[in-house]
Structure formats: C-alpha cells, structure tokens
C-alpha cells in the first residue's frame, strides 16, 4: 500500500519525471499533470493528499491553481506545495498568502523536496487523526445531547400535569432548569381522605446528579404519603431516605404541606427551603397582602437523626400560596445585588387573580429586575389557589 | 473569585475562605478541605467564613461533608466569622444548630 497520493503539476516533463521517480521510490502513489487545468482534471478522478505544483505554467498557473484548490470546501485541506524560482515572480510570503502550505524554491534538490514531502505527510497524518477524533467527539456529544433531551422530557413528565386541579386547589407552575435537566422538583397528590399533599424541593447542585436525586426525592415523598397524613412524618421519613442514599454533601431543601379543604387548615414543614408566601383572599375578589409562612428547619439528607418540626396555618377559599426555589430570587445582578425573598414578596403584592397570569407576571417582573443577568440555577415557581 | 488559604496552628487546621461560594467553586474548596483533613488529621478544623459574600446550597453541602469527615476522625469542626448574609442562610436552614459557630477565629480556636 502506498504512503499517500501526490499530484505533481509542472509544464516541464523532466521535472515531473524526476519528482515522480523519487516519490514512487519512497512508496507514494503519483499523479501528474502539465498545468493547473489538467491538475484539476486529475483531482476529479482521484483526490491527492498532497500537491506539488510549479508556479509558472501555461493555461493555468500555480497561484491560480492553488487559489482554486483552497477555495473549494472538498479540496481545501489538501496540502499544497508551490514551487517557484525566487526571481521576484513570487515571494515565499506571497505564496503562503494565497493559501499554499509550503514553498519550494527552484532550483531544488530532490532530497530536499522528499524531506518536505515526508514532513508534510506527518502533518497530514496528524490532521487526519484530529479530524477522526473530532468525528468521534461529535458523535459522542450528539449522543449525550440526545440522552439529555430525553432525560429532560422525562423529568418534565414527573411534574404535575397542567392546568392542575386537586381537592380544594387549582395550580400552575413554571419550571426552568439551568442545564436542561435540574434538581428542582415539586409534586401535588390527592390523598384518599379528600385532602391534598404538596411538596417542593431543591436538590443541592444542578445537572444530572441533582436530577437523579430529585426523582429519588419525589419517589420518597410518594412512598411516605401512603404511610401517614402528617407532613412531619413525611419529612422525617424523607430525611432518612436521603441521608442513607446520597453522598454527604448532597441534600435537598423542601417545603412539605398537607392541605385539608374540609377544615381550611394546612400543616407544613419547612426543611431548609425558602418558606412560601401566602396571599390571603382580599375584599371584593381582590387579593390581599402577601406574608411569608413562618418556620424553618434542617434540609433533608444531612443526617438521618436530625429533628424536624411542623407548623400550622389557615388556608381558606380565595387564599393563594406562592412556592418557589431560591434560583428565582438569588440571581446576582450586574451591581452584585440580589432580589431576595423580600423583593420577591413585594412583586406578589399586585398579582392578577388568575394563577396562570400571576405566574407569567411574576417571572417577567423578576427577569426585568435582574436586567441582563439570566437565571443561573434551576428555577421553579408554583402558584396554588384555594378554591371551592 | 474565590480565595482559599489553609494553615496550621498547633493541633488545629485553619481554612480561610473569601469570595462567593457556589456550584462553580465547590470542587476547588472540596480539594483543599479534603487535603487539609487527610494530611494534618487535625483535632480541630476551623473554617473562617469572614470574607464570604454568598454561599449557596452546594457550599452548605460542602461544609456538612466537612463536618462528617472530621467527625469520622474524631475531630471537631468550628466555623467562625459568618457575615450577616451567610448567617441568614444558616438560620433559615437551621444549620446554626448543626455546626459549632463562633464569632472570631480566636474564639473558634479556643473552642469557647
């Protein structure tokens, strides 16, 4: 097998012959042509790896030939050596400027040309290897991107379907993961006694690992719903599940609530999560002044033995809960300030009564406040309205 | 920008952190803490957070992991110099009750 294909283009037969002789002796396959036009014809039959072309030739000179080879996407990577007498017709730099990869000055020693050819083929081999690796990398990247898209769709499928209705509530959400998939998760589940369970959680970090843990959080939440109607028991159980099944520095902040439409009460646990805002029903169909629910507590997954406490609040018809993850209010602006929970609560003072419109307005207000800075963490917003 | 410095004082190792502690820098910080614990096996690890402007959940996770790792080698972890913003994050997550927290580095070293 030959070491590669070399096209020799020169209008002087003796030069073609001598170069051909040395090249063939060194195991290269050789094509010959007497000018640029013939050279292009040869190339259409078999694409060379390297071209050695004279500058001065009738019909199509070497510089034109070189420009045409380099202008064509399918031939531009062919290594081009331009042979020129250094008599002022073309300087070395001039040759390189029109796209030639190397210059050989006339008169030349065949050994010198052969040394340059061997060196050129080492570069060609390297370029081919880089191209090959690029193809492999691109295929890998495409596969990973494809899998991430699939995972993102699956994760979206884990969220409650919209528009959301459960006993005593209507809700909507905005879910904006930072890396396609994310560590935020929320769930709303009707319970057998006519009440509703609600959970929002934010797993530390983001990306694939956080996404895997977020689905674990949801599964854990759902399994504890079957055992108890008490959010305190859910928190204790989920904390144990997460402490046992994740690495030391992985945990989730969460807000867990049990909403009972029959009594108009809710019991809840704040586990290291920003406490939601409650917006009580106002006069004549308007909404009232938002307040942040009280309570604080450990995140889930730090230590299996940590204690939790639950809180209670009213949740009457017309009341609204705004649940969120910290990605919504902790965007660093250009002047290094943050919206913060107080700022976010301020935006909740004049939200439309329609939950969907409220979610749209709140996200728009936050984006406008952040200016050019964009969300860098996973962002989840859930608006829950207490209805008849 | 994050600036981390580790030094030894008697049986104690002191890690001083300055800057914003978030997801992008946790790997760097994790390495420093792990190397410090592995090489010095300190009886007391003090992490000085005086210069920390912001800490996110992955940063908190790192501190929890640091406590776990010194616990395993029967050491202690003391935190000190929490700025108001960081203190607020600790309060909200009850971590104020999980870590031993001191006002100054000297207090943290004395353990009082």
| CATH number of the domain residue B22 falls in | 3.30.750.24
The whole-number pLDDT of residue A95 equals 72
Residue located via tokens 């929970």: A341
Q: Is A205 on the interface with B (CB under 8 A)?
A: yes
The whole-number pLDDT of residue A274 equals 92
* Residue A39 token pair: 């050279």
Q: What is the pTM of this model?
A: 0.75
Q: How many domains does chain B have?
A: 1
The whole-number pLDDT of residue A286 equals 65
Q: Is B74 on the interface with A (CB under 8 A)?
A: no
Q: Write out the residue range of the structural domain in which residue B91 sits.
A: 2-103
d(CA A101, CA A120): 9
Residue A12 CB neighbours (<10 A): 12
Q: How far is CA A338 from CA A152, A366, A373, in A?
A: 28, 10, 11
pLDDT for A92 beyond 70? no
The whole-number pLDDT of residue B94 equals 86
Does B15 fall in a domain? yes
pLDDT band at A85 (very low <50, low <70, confident <90, very high): confident
Q: Is B32 on the interface with A (CB under 8 A)?
A: no
pLDDT band at A285 (very low <50, low <70, confident <90, very high): low
Q: Is A99 on the interface with B (CB under 8 A)?
A: no
Does B68 fall in a domain? yes
The whole-number pLDDT of residue A338 equals 84
**Helix, strand, or coil (residue A182):** coil
| In contact, A141 and A30? CB cutoff 8 Å | no
Q: Which of A202, A296, A297 faces B57 most closely, judged by CB atoms?
A: A202
Does B111 fall in a domain? no
pLDDT band at A119 (very low <50, low <70, confident <90, very high): very high
Q: Provide CB contacts within 8 A for A159, sequence distance 6+.
A: A173, A175, A185, A186, A187
| pLDDT tens readout for residues B85-105 | 899 888 888 889 889 999 999
**Helix, strand, or coil (residue A140):** helix
Does B71 fall in a domain? yes
The whole-number pLDDT of residue A98 equals 83
ipTM of the complex: 0.74
Residue of chain A minimizing CA distance to B98: A298
pLDDT for A87 beyond 70? no
Q: What is residue A350's DSSP assignment?
A: G
pLDDT for A189 beyond 90? yes
* Residue A175 token pair: 């879910």
pLDDT for A247 beyond 80? no
**A206 contacts in chain B (CB < 8 Å):** 23
Least confident of A134-143, A250-259, B24-33: B24-33
**B58 contacts in chain A (CB < 8 Å):** 204-205, 249
- Name the most confidently modeled range: A186-200, A244-258, B16-30: A186-200
pLDDT band at A89 (very low <50, low <70, confident <90, very high): low
Task: Please compute, for residue A298, the number of CA atoms within 13 A of its CA located in the half-sphere on the CB side.
Answer: 24
Alpha carbon of B59: minimum distance to chain A alpha carbons (Å)? 9
**B69 contacts in chain A (CB < 8 Å):** 248
- Mean pLDDT estimate for chain A: 90
Q: What's the helix, strand, coil split of chain B in %, to 5?
A: 45, 35, 20
What is the DSSP pairing of strand A277-279 with strand A320-324?
antiparallel
Domains along the sequence of chain A with CATH: 5-131 (3.40.50.2300), 159-386 (3.60.40.10)
| pLDDT tens readout for residues A273-283 | 999 999 998 76
d(CA A290, CA A378): 24
Alpha carbon of B32: minimum distance to chain A alpha carbons (Å)? 15
d(CA A20, CA A13): 10
d(CA B70, CA B64): 10
Does B110 fall in a domain? no
Does B30 fall in a domain? yes
Does B63 fall in a domain? yes
H-only helix segments in chain A: 13-25, 36-45, 62-71, 92-97, 110-158, 208-225, 231-245, 340-347, 355-370
Residue A265 CB neighbours (<10 A): 15
Q: Is A272 on the interface with B (CB under 8 A)?
A: yes
Does B109 fall in a domain? no
Dihedral through CA A198, CA A203, CA A209, CA A211, nearest 10? Answer: 30
Q: Provide CB contacts within 8 A for A316, sequence distance 6+.
A: A264, A280, A281, A386
Q: What's the helix, strand, coil split of chain A in %, to 5?
A: 40, 25, 35
The whole-number pLDDT of residue A284 equals 62
């Amino acid at each position: 097998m030959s070491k590669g294909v070399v096209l020799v283009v020169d209008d002087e037969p003796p030069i073609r012959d001598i170069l051909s002789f040395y090249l063939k002796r060194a195991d290269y396959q050789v094509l010959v042509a007497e000018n640029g036009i013939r050279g292009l014809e040869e190339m259409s039959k078999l694409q060379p790896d390297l071209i050695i072309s004279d500058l001065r030739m009738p019909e199509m000179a070497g510089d034109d030939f070189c420009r045409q080879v380099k202008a064509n996407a399918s031939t531009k990577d062919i290594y081009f050596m331009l042979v020129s007498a250094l008599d002022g017709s073309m300087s070395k730099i001039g040759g390189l400027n029109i796209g030639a990869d190397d210059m050989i000055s006339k008169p030349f020693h065949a050994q010198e040309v052969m040394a340059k050819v061997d060196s050129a083929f080492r570069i060609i081999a390297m370029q081919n290897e880089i191209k090959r690796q690029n193809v492999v990398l691109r295929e890998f990247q495409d596969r990973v991107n494809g899998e991430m898209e699939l995972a993102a769709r699956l994760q979206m499928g884990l969220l409650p379907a919209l528009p959301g209705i459960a006993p005593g509530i209507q809700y909507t959400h905005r879910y904006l993961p930072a890396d396609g998939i994310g560590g935020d998760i929320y769930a709303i589940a009707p319970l057998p006694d006519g009440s509703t369970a609600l959970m929002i959680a934010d797993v530390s970090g983001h990306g694939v690992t956080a996404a895997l843990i977020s689905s674990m959080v949801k599964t854990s939440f759902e399994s504890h719903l079957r055992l108890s109607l008490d959010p305190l028991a859910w928190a204790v159980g989920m904390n144990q599940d997460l402490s046992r099944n994740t690495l030391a520095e992985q945990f989730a902040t969460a807000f867990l609530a049990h909403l009972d439409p029959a009594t108009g009460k809710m019991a809840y646990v704040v586990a290291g999560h920003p406490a939601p805002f409650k917006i009580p029903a106002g006069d004549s169909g308007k909404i009232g002044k938002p307040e942040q629910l009280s309570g604080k507590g450990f995140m889930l997954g730090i230590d299996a033995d940590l204690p939790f406490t639950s809180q209670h609040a009213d949740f009457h018809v017309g009341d609204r809960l705004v649940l969120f993850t910290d990605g919504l209010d902790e965007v660093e602006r250009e002047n290094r300030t943050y919206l913060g929970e107080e700022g976010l609560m301020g935006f909740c003072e004049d939200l439309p009564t329609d939950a969907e419109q409220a979610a749209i307005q709140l996200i728009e207000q936050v984006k406008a406040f952040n200016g050019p800075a964009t969300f860098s963490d996973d962002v989840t917003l859930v608006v829950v309205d207490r209805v008849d | 920008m994050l600036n981390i410095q580790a030094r030894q004082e008697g049986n104690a190792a002191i890690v001083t952190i300055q800057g914003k502690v978030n997801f992008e820098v946790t790997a760097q910080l994790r390495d420093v803490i792990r190397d410090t614990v592995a090489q010095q096996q300190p009886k007391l690890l003090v992490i000085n957070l005086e210069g920390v402007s912001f800490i996110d959940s992955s940063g908190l996770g790192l501190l929890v992991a640091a406590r776990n790792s010194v616990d395993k080698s029967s050491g202690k972890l003391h935190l000190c110099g929490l700025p108001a913003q960081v203190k607020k994050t600790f309060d909200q997550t009850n971590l104020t009750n999980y870590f031993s927290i001191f006002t100054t580095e000297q207090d943290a070293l004395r353990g009082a």
